[in-house]
C-alpha cells in the first residue's frame, strides 16, 4: 500500500475524494458569456469597427465618439501600453440578447502579435476583419499580410467559431462581385485549415460609415444582402461550453494585498466558486480560503428575478473575478498560479506531447533540442522542444514522421520538456490549461495545444 501511495504522490495528497458540487439553477440559466478576439491585418479597420460597435450598441455616445477618430476609442489602451502601464486584456463588454461579449484587444501591428496571442489564447470566438478595397485585401491576404497568419493562430489556439467581416466595402461601391470574390478566397483558406463549414460566417460592412453594423441604410447594399447585421451576427454565435460540472480551475492574472486579505484577479476556466470555499494554489500546494468574491465584468442578471443577486455571488467558468483570499501571504502567490479544487487537481507536468503550428515570421527552423519559452495562461517557463514527432496537415493528418526541422507555416506533433512542473491538462479536458505559445528571443514562434501529458 505504501508504494502505491508513493507513486501517486502529488495529485492525491489530500486523501479526499472529489465530489462534484450540484450546479445551482441560477447558473444553468445564466446568460452566456463569450470572449471575442478581433483579428486582421493592420489597417483592415478593426479599431474603427469595434468603436462603431460600442457606439451603435450604446456604450459610448456619438458626441463622445465624435470628438476623436473612432479608432482612438480602442487605441487608448495602446497609448497606456506605450507608457508602460500594464494592459488589461478584456475590459469591454458588449451585451447582446444572447451573450455578454467580452472584447479582447488585438492590435494588428506586427510587434503586437504577442499581445494578440495572449488575447486569442482566451478567446471563445473570433471576428476576422478584412479590407475589401482593391489592393488592400490582396496585400493583407497574399503579399506577406497577416490575415492568413491570424487565421492559423486562431485555429492553433482552438478557436472554432469565426465571423469574417468584409470591411470597407463602401470603397468598392458595395459591389456584390467583390464581396463574393473575397468570401470565396477566405472561405477556401478557412476550410483548408479545417474550420468547420457551419462555424464560418461572412458579412459585408463599413466600419467607417457604420453600414450593416446595427442596420442598413444604403440601398446599394440592401439590394443584394439580406443576411444579419454585425450585431445580429454576434448574437448568433453559439454559446461556449462552460464545463460547470467540472472541478474549479482559476488562472491568476494579477495579485495584490488589500487590507487584511490577498486579492487574486483572474478568469474562471471551469467549474464555479463561492465565498467560503477552500482552494489549493498550484504548483506550490498551499491551501487558501475564499473570503469574498467580486465580478470585474458583472454578468447581466434578470432584475425581476429575486435570486439574481445569487449569480453575482458566484464566479463561474468564463467570469473575470477578484477573489479575496486568507491563509496565504502575498509573496506566495504569483501571476500564472492556478487555483483549483483541492480534491481534483490538474496534474503537475513537465513533459507533454503537443500539436503546434509554426508561425510565418519564423526564419530559423526549429530543430530537436531547441530552447524556447513556454507560455501558458500568464506563466513563462523555459523549455526544450525535446522531440519532433511528425509533420502534419492543419487538421492533424501525418505527412512525415520524425522530421529533421520545422519550418514556418508548418503544423507538427512535438514533445516539449519544461524546466519546471506546472499545472497543465489535455486540451480536450481543459481548454485553458491545454493551449500555449512558444517564444524564442522574445519572438512568438509557435502556438499549440496539449495532446497528452507524459
Provide the binding-site residues for ligand GDP, judged by CB under 6 A.
40, 42-48, 71, 108, 167-168, 170-171, 206-208
Give CA–CA dist 47/11, Å, rounded: 45
The two beta strands, 379-392 and 338-340, are: unpaired
Select 47 or 341, whichever has its Cβ closest to ligand GDP.
47
Burial class (CB in 10 A: 0-12, 13-18, 19+), 344: buried
Beta-ladder partners of 315: 273
- Cα-flanking dihedrals φ and ψ of residue 180, to 5°? -60, -40
Residue 403 CB, nearest approach to ligand GDP (Å): 35
Give CA–CA dist 148/164, Å, rounded: 12
Buried b (16+ CB within 10 A) or exposed e, 410-448: bbbbbbbebeeebbbbbbeebbbbbbbbbbbeeebbbbb
Helix (H, G, I), strand (E, B) or coil at 436: strand
Beta-ladder partners of 103: 36, 92
Give CA–CA dist 414/65, Å, rounded: 48
Give CA–CA dist 163/294, Å, rounded: 32
- Cα-flanking dihedrals φ and ψ of residue 264, to 5°? -115, 125
End-to-end CA distance of the chain: give it in Å, rounded: 24
Select 168 or 242, whichever has its Cβ closest to ligand GDP.
168
Residue 35 CB, nearest approach to ligand GDP (Å): 19
Select 136 or 322, whichever has its Cβ closest to ligand GDP.
136
Select 39 or 316, whichever has its Cβ closest to ligand GDP.
39
Task: Kindly state the cell numbers that stand for 6.
Answer: 508513493
Per the listing, cell 478557412 goes with 190
Residue 409 CB, nearest approach to ligand GDP (Å): 22
Residue 44 CB, nearest approach to ligand GDP (Å): 4
Residue 296 CB, nearest approach to ligand GDP (Å): 25
Burial class (CB in 10 A: 0-12, 13-18, 19+), 404: exposed
Residue 152 CB, nearest approach to ligand GDP (Å): 18
Residue 437 CB, nearest approach to ligand GDP (Å): 22
Residue 423 CB, nearest approach to ligand GDP (Å): 35
Residue 74 CB, nearest approach to ligand GDP (Å): 7
Select 46 or 92, whichever has its Cβ closest to ligand GDP.
46
Residue 71 CB, nearest approach to ligand GDP (Å): 4
Select 119 or 207, whichever has its Cβ closest to ligand GDP.
207
Contact predicate 178/132, CB 8 Å: yes
Residues near 190 by Cβ (< 8 Å), separated by ≥ 6?
151, 162, 164, 200
Select 47 or 426, whichever has its Cβ closest to ligand GDP.
47
Select 232 or 274, whichever has its Cβ closest to ligand GDP.
232
Buried b (16+ CB within 10 A) or exposed e, 149-177: bbbbbbbbbbbbbbbbbbbbbbbbebbee
Select 60 or 255, whichever has its Cβ closest to ligand GDP.
60
Residue nearest ligand GDP by beta-carbon distance: 45
Select 218 or 294, whichever has its Cβ closest to ligand GDP.
218
Amino acid at each position: 500500500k505504501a508504494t502505491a501511495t508513493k507513486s501517486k504522490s502529488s495529485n492525491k495528497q489530500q486523501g479526499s475524494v472529489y465530489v462534484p458540487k450540484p450546479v445551482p439553477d441560477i447558473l444553468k440559466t445564466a446568460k452566456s458569456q463569450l470572449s471575442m478576439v478581433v483579428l486582421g491585418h493592420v489597417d483592415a479597420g478593426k479599431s474603427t469597427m469595434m468603436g462603431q460597435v460600442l457606439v451603435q450598441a450604446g456604450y459610448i455616445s456619438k458626441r463622445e465618439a465624435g470628438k476623436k477618430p473612432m479608432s482612438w476609442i480602442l487605441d487608448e489602451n495602446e497609448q497606456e501600453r506605450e507608457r508602460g502601464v500594464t494592459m488589461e486584456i478584456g475590459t469591454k463588454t458588449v451585451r447582446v440578447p444572447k451573450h455578454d461579449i467580452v472584447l479582447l484587444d488585438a492590435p494588428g501591428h506586427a510587434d503586437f502579435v504577442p499581445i494578440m496571442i495572449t488575447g486569442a489564447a482566451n478567446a471563445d470566438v473570433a471576428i476576422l476583419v478584412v479590407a475589401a478595397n482593391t489592393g488592400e485585401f490582396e496585400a493583407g491576404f497574399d503579399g506577406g499580410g497577416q490575415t492568413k497568419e491570424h487565421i492559423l493562430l486562431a485555429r492553433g489556439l482552438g478557436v472554432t467559431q469565426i465571423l469574417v467581416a468584409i470591411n470597407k466595402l463602401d470603397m468598392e461601391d458595395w459591389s456584390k462581385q467583390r464581396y463574393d470574390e473575397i468570401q470565396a478566397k477566405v472561405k477556401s483558406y478557412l476550410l483548408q485549415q479545417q474550420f468547420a463549414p457551419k462555424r464560418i460566417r461572412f458579412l459585408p460592412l463599413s466600419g467607417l460609415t457604420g453600414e450593416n453594423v446595427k442596420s442598413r441604410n444604403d440601398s446599394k447594399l440592401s439590394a443584394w444582402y439580406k443576411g444579419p447585421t454585425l450585431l445580429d451576427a454576434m448574437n448568433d454565435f453559439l454559446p461556449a461550453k462552460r464545463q460547470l460540472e467540472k472541478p474549479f480551475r482559476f488562472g491568476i492574472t494579477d495579485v495584490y494585498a488589500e487590507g487584511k486579505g490577498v486579492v487574486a484577479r483572474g478568469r474562471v476556466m471551469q467549474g464555479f466558486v463561492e465565498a467560503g470555499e477552500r482552494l489549493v494554489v498550484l504548483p506550490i500546494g498551499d491551501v487558501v480560503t475564499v473570503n469574498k468574491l467580486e465580478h470585474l465584468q458583472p454578468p447581466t442578471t434578470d432584475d425581476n428575478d429575486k435570486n439574481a443577486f445569487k449569480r453575482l455571488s458566484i464566479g463561474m467558468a468564463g467570469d473575470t473575478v477578484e477573489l479575496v483570499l486568507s491563509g496565504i501571504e502575498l509573496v506566495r502567490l504569483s501571476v500564472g498560479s492556478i487555483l483549483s479544487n483541492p480534491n481534483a487537481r490538474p496534474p503537475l507536468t513537465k513533459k507533454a506531447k503537443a500539436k503546434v503550428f509554426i508561425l510565418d515570421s519564423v526564419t530559423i527552423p526549429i530543430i530537436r533540442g531547441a530552447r524556447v519559452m513556454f507560455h501558458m495562461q500568464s506563466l513563462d517557463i523555459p523549455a526544450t522542444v525535446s522531440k519532433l514527432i511528425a509533420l502534419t496537415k492543419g487538421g492533424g493528418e501525418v505527412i512525415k514522421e520524425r522530421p529533421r526541422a520545422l519550418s514556418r507555416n508548418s503544423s507538427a506533433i512535438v514533445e516539449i520538456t519544461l524546466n519546471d512542473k506546472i499545472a497543465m491538462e489535455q486540451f480536450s479536458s481543459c481548454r485553458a490549461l491545454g493551449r500555449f505559445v512558444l517564444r524564442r528571443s522574445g519572438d512568438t514562434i509557435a502556438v499549440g495545444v496539449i495532446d497528452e501529458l507524459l
